[in-house]
């Protein structure tokens, strides 16, 4: 046979001799060393595609579940925290809602304001510069940062946690200025990761920032705006 075989010639040959196509595709499974037929090969390919599709569907369902949970949290936060109450009550309610909605999670609130006389639940009042110096690249004042954290970082972000936090979402409380940060942590390394959608998490940060700036610390916020 000539070495200059064209694609059209090969196509014509296979049309006239379809059994040659099966002989070409017959292969040997590397794992078993057993020859497989063309129907078996097709079945294996379909099974692989189905497995891949099932994995994608499972991932989609998990993402949808996470988004539904975060949406419910947003709704409960707005519904509850917009009522007149003290900053101490706000931090207490925030802790309760996070615990009820996000199972096996931890949190800590950092507020870049002067501390009130009465203590607040799971809250640290700290200067923004000091906070950023402690957490370094984990914090972005413009957007949430999600991902795995080290033990030393866990101890800084979650000082009240008695257990190891493996991953976190660190939210800037940004509303016409930076007013604090909210750290939400998971004991699972897969709890928060960079590929997660941040729409609802960012909303939580903006809502809390608005409360801090204009309901609980309006004088300090006005002073900060005047000096900037």
pLDDT by residue for the chain (228 residues), tens digit each?
456 677 677 777 767 777 666 555 554 444 455 556 667 677 677 777 777 777 666 666 666 677 678 788 888 888 888 888 999 999 999 999 988 888 768 999 999 999 999 999 999 999 999 999 999 889 999 999 999 999 999 999 999 887 789 999 999 999 888 999 999 999 988 888 888 888 888 999 999 999 999 898 888 888 877 776
CB–CB of 172/181 below 8 Å?
Answer: yes
CA dist., res. 74 & res. 97, Å (int) = 10
CA dist., res. 39 & res. 42, Å (int) = 5
Superfamily covering domain 71-227: GAF domain (3.30.450.40)
CB–CB of 93/143 below 8 Å?
Answer: no
Helix or strand holding residue 114 (H, E)? none
Dihedral sign from CA coordinates of 143, 149, 152, 154: positive
Q: Within 13 A of 115's CA, how many CA atoms are on the CB side?
A: 12
**Eight-state DSSP code of residue 102:** S
pTM above 0.85, yes or no: no
Phi, psi angle pair for 183, to nearest 5°: -105, 125
CA dist., res. 147 & res. 140, Å (int) = 13
CB–CB of 152/164 below 8 Å?
Answer: no
- At 38 the pLDDT is 63
Could you tell me the residue ranges of all domains in the chain?
A: 71-227
């Amino acid at each position: 046979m000539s070495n200059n075989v064209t694609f059209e010639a090969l196509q014509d040959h296979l049309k006239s001799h379809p059994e040659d196509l099966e002989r070409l595709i017959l292969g040997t499974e590397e794992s078993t060393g057993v020859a497989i037929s063309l129907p078996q090969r097709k079945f294996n390919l379909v099974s692989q595609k189905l497995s891949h599709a099932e994995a994608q569907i499972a991932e989609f369902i998990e993402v949808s579940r996470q988004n539904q949970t975060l949406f419910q949290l947003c709704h409960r936060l707005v519904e509850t925290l917009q009522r007149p109450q003290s900053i101490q009550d706000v931090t207490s309610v925030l802790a309760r809602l996070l615990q009820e909605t996000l199972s096996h999670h931890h949190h800590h609130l950092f507020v870049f304001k002067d501390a009130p006389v009465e203590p607040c639940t799971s809250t640290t009042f700290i200067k923004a510069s000091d906070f950023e110096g402690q957490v370094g690249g984990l914090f972005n004042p413009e957007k949430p940062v999600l991902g795995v954290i080290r033990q030393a970082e866990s101890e800084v972000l979650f000082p009240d946690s008695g257990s190891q936090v493996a991953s976190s979402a660190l939210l800037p409380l940004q509303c016409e200025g930076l007013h604090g940060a909210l750290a939400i942590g998971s004991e699972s390394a897969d709890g928060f990761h960079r590929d997660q959608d941040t729409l609802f998490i960012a909303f939580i940060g903006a809502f809390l920032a608005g409360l801090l700036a204009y309901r609980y610390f309006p004088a300090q916020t006005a002073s900060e705006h005047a000096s900037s």
